Amino acid sequence: MGAIGLAMYKYLLQRLVQGILVMLVVTFVAFAIFHFLGDPVNNMVGESATDADRQMVRLQLGLDEPVIVQYFKFVGNILQGDFGISYRTRTSVIEQMAVRLPATLELSLVSGFFSILFGIPMGIYCALQPKSWLSRNFLVGSLVGISIPTFLSGLLLIYLFSVTLGWLPSQGRGGLVSLGWWDTSLVTLKGWSYIIMPALTLCIYQLTLITRMVRAEMQEVIRTDYIKFARARGLSNYIVQYRHALQNSLVPVVTIIGLQLGTVVAFSIITETVFNWPGLGQMFIQSIEFVDIPVMSAYLIFVGAFFVILNLIVDLVYALVDPRLRAA
C-alpha cells in the first residue's frame, strides 16, 4: 500500500469531485425538465379535477416551495430511490426500471462479450499481418460496419434469420428463468435464441471500433525500441508479439472498452426498439412518445450515474496502472 502515493489520492479526489459535479448538472437538467415542462399537477390529476384537488396535489408535491428547495428535495428523493410516479402507467418509476434493468444489462454484457471475443483477435491479426488479404477485408469491413446504422443491421438480421430461414424469433425476450428479482435469459437455449440477434446487432459498432483500436495500438507498440530490442535479444516471435507487444497495447484498449460500455447502453435504445426487447431503452423511447416526464428524467439520471461510475472506475484503473501516479 505504501506504493500508493499522495498524488494518486489527489488525482482520485479530483475525479470524484468532477463526477459529483457532473451528477449535479445531470440531476438539475432532469429536475428542470420535470419542473418546467408542462404542468406536473395537470398530468397527475387529469382533466376533471376541481381547483381544490389541484391545490392539494400542488401542496403534496411541494410545488409551493422555492425552486431551490424543491431541487434539493428532488435530489434527496432520488438518493432514497424515489423517482416519482409515471404519468402514463401510474406506477412507481423505480419499480418499472427494476423490472427492465436485467433485460438491458444482459443484452449489453452479451454484446460486449461478442465484440471483445471477435474484435481483439481481428485487431491483432490486422496489426501483425498488415499486408494480407484478410486484414484488408477486415479494415474495409470495419468502415462498412461503422456506416451501417444499428437499426438497419437489426432489420437485415431479422430478414435473414427470422423471415427467410425461420431459425430465430425476431421479437421480445423469452425462455426466462427467475433468479429472485432478476429474470435471466442466459441459462436456457430458448433464452439464447432470443438474445443472440439483438446482441449481435448491438455489438457490430463496438466490434469495428475495438478492431481498429487494437490494430492501431499494436502497430504503434511494434515500432517502439523495446520491441526491436526484444527481437535483437533473440526472443521468439511468439513471446515478442503476445507477451510484450500485446500486453502493452491492451491497457488503453481496456479503458476504452470500459468507457464504451456506456455507449452500448445508449445504442441499446435502438436495438431494443427493433427487436421489441423489454429493456430500459424501450421504456425511454415510450416515455418520449407519450411525454412521460418522470420516466424521461429518471432514465437521464440513470444513464448519467452509469457514465460517471464507469469513468471513475476507468480513472481508478489508470491510477493503478500508471507508475507516475503510483509513486511520489
Partner 1 sequence: MEQTNSHTPTAEQMIAADNTTLIKRIMDSDIFYSFIRSPLIVIAAMLCLTLIFSAFFAPWLAPYDPFDQTTLSLWAANLPPLSTDEDGLFYLLGTDNQGRDILSAIMYGMRTSLIVGLAAVAFALVLGTSLGLVAAFFGGWIDSLLMRIADIQLSFPAILVALLIDGVAKAVLGTSQMESLAIYVLILAIGLSEWVQFARAVRAAALVEQRKEYVQAARIMGVPVPYIMLRHILPNVVSPILVIATISIAVAIITEATLSFLGVGIPQTEPSLGTLIRVGGNYLMSGEWWITLFPGFTLVLLVLSFNLLGDWLRDALNPRLK
The CB-of-255 to partner 1 minimum distance in angstroms stands at 14
The CB-of-242 to partner 1 minimum distance in angstroms stands at 29
Of 102 and 281, CB closest to partner 1: 281
Give the residue from 83, 115, 91, 100 showing the smallest Cα distance to 272. Answer: 100
Of 128 and 314, CB closest to partner 1: 314
Of 146 and 327, CB closest to partner 1: 146
The CB-of-149 to partner 1 minimum distance in angstroms stands at 5
Sign of the CA dihedral 244, 246, 249, 254? negative
Could you give the count of Cα atoms lying within 13 Å of 16 in the half-sphere of its Cβ?
7
The CB-of-234 to partner 1 minimum distance in angstroms stands at 33
Distance of alpha carbon 111 from alpha carbon 201, whole angstroms: 8
The CB-of-126 to partner 1 minimum distance in angstroms stands at 15
Q: What does the angle CA 279 – CA 308 – CA 277 come to, to the nearest 5 degrees?
A: 10
Of 125 and 299, CB closest to partner 1: 299
The CB-of-101 to partner 1 minimum distance in angstroms stands at 17
Contact positions toward partner 1, by CB under 8 A? 22, 25, 33, 37-38, 143-144, 146-152, 155-156, 158-159, 162-163, 170, 262-263, 266-267, 269-270, 273-274, 284-285, 287-289, 291, 293, 296, 300, 303-304, 307-308, 311
Distance of alpha carbon 39 from alpha carbon 87, whole angstroms: 11
The CB-of-67 to partner 1 minimum distance in angstroms stands at 18
Say which residue the cell 439483438 belongs to: 198
Of 176 and 274, CB closest to partner 1: 274
> How many other CB atoms are there within 10 angstroms of residue 80's CB atom?
9
Of 9 and 159, CB closest to partner 1: 159
User: For the chain, where are the E strands, in sequence order?
Assistant: 177-179, 182-184
The CB-of-153 to partner 1 minimum distance in angstroms stands at 9
Instruction: With both helix axes pointing from N to C terminus, report the angle between 93-128 and 247-275 in degrees, rounded to the nearest 10.
Output: 130
Of 27 and 241, CB closest to partner 1: 27
Of 34 and 74, CB closest to partner 1: 34
Say which residue the cell 440477434 belongs to: 197
Give the alpha-carbon dihedral of 257, 262, 267, 271, to 10 degrees: 90
Distance of alpha carbon 328 from alpha carbon 326, whole angstroms: 7
The CB-of-119 to partner 1 minimum distance in angstroms stands at 19
Instruction: Give DSSP secondary structure letters for 63-119.
Output: TTS-HHHHHHHHHHHHHTT---B-TTT-SBHHHHHHHHHHHHHHHHHHHHHHHHHHH
Of 219 and 311, CB closest to partner 1: 311
Burial classification of residue 91, based on how many CB atoms lie within 10 Å of its CB (0-12 exposed, 13-18 middle, 19 or more buried) = exposed
